[in-house]
Amino acid sequence: MNPTKKVAFYTLGCKLNFSETSTIARSFKDEGFDRVDFKETADIYVINTCSVTENADKRFKTIVKHAQKSNPDAFVAAIGCYAQLKPEELADVNGVDLVLGATEKFKITDYLNDLTKNDFGEVHSCEIEDADFYVGSYSIGDRTRAFLKVQDGCDYKCTYCTIPLARGISRSDTMVNVLQNAKEISEKGIKEIVLTGVNIGDYGKGEFGNKKHEHTFLDLVKELDKVEGIERLRISSIEPNLLKNETIDLVSNSRAFVPHFHIPLQSGSNDVLKKMKRRYMKELYVDRVSKIKEVMPHACIGVDVIVGFPGETDDAFLETYNFLNALDISYLHVFQYSERDNTEAAEMPNVVSKAKRAKRSKMLRGLSAKKRRAFYEKQLNTERTVLFESENKEGYIHGFTENYVKVKAPWNPELVNTLENVKLTKIDDDGLVRFEFLKELALK
């Protein structure tokens, strides 16, 4: 009898990639494979790649080397966004046997005939126009929350972004399928679902293989709020022009949706936003933040911002800095602009030096720390609900309140994946928040 083959996965990039890795891992399980940790010896190593930042490209080679160190004879497959954009480049990396693009990655088990190493990487990648069908996915098992994919691809033409080239047109899961996946997740005892996609506010488009919106994002949110067994629903990231007042109002009165929004801004300068071909001006962004804070003063608002975009002068950067400083937001995700092949921005004049990009990034990261601290201070002495995570970090258990305040307490395994009512009391030296339980723990 043959011993069971082992497969290991490494995921780079976004929550969407994590949800897709989980779904692909389940297809391996159906074929009789055992999933092991990437650090362990496996017969197949699958690397789900990302193309959003330069570092993701560089890390790929390092990850392949780690896999080869664990098992020089292992079969190595690259899938995902970078595999779609630069398949030949990945296939040339020493040790890579198979590269699968956007449509092929979900059929990976069909390509594994005998698992013998190839002399050179075999590529199966479609023209991105062919990526017009939808594959649903969600991640479970390794976290106390699940990432539920509801949408894929993007029709926006932002000048810095390769995602439309890597993932194709905007298309969505059917409402029936999303609700079914949500029910499956809730039946596994997972307390929180994070909705994910490339452009989730565009939900409904392409649900029937065309551009007709049978359902909108608002419809989706309404229906998910009714799914029993899910304690918390979180919207991962939504474009400001697609975040409507009705959605904000629904979240504010919702049973399960939490008061946490992540809204990409990218720049606080209208001139730069125009060069980026974003679909809003900064005035609309102010309007969205004001609306959220009006109905949910305690809401957490995260912001994506890019520094060093071509043509971002010192004045334009300061405009962004001052804009964010004045805005009632909670934290920033800061990205240094990096040139990407086949994008408009890569050809633009007035390139900002790497040194300036790094300096601006550092300034905004400092602002983010200040914003997060101020947000946490406002939350002290309030009563919140915490979902505790499963990792023991140096003797502490961590968790998040509904409005995304990160808390810590001495490790107690019986708290894992439980929701507890607490009062936030003080900010620790490491910036995390301490708390008191509001009732005696009814622990086993």
pLDDT in tens, 158-181: 999 988 888 888 999 999 999 999
Strands 192-196 and 145-149, how do they pair?
A: parallel
Sign of CA dihedral 15, 21, 27, 33: negative
Percent of the chain with pLDDT over 70: 90
Average pLDDT value for the chain: 90
Q: Mean per-residue pLDDT for 148-152?
A: 92
Asked if residue 38 has pLDDT above 70, the reply is: yes
What single-letter DSSP state applies at residue 110?
G
pLDDT value, residue 444: 42
Q: Mean per-residue pLDDT for 389-393?
A: 92
pLDDT in tens, 54-73: 666 678 999 999 999 999 99
pLDDT value, residue 213: 72
Question: Could you give the C-alpha distances from 223 to 260, 404, 412, 418, in angstroms and in order?
Answer: 19, 23, 35, 25
Sign of CA dihedral 278, 284, 290, 294: negative
Burial 135-158 (b: 16+ CB within 10 A, else e): bbbbbbeebbbbbbbbbbbbebeb
Encoded tokens for 211: 């551009």
Q: Mean per-residue pLDDT for 195-207?
A: 88
pLDDT in tens, 241-287: 999 999 999 999 999 999 999 999 999 999 999 999 999 999 999 99
Dihedral (C-alpha) 95, 97, 102, 104: value to the nearest 10 degrees? -160
The whole-model pTM stands at 0.84
Sequence-ordered list of residues with C-beta below 8 angstroms from that of 26, at least 6 positions apart, any chain: none
CB 296 within 8 A of CB 178: no
Segment among 61-70, 203-212, 222-231, 382-391 with least mean pLDDT: 203-212
Asked if residue 355 has pLDDT above 60, the reply is: yes
Rounded-to-integer distance, Cα 135 and Cα 56, Å: 24
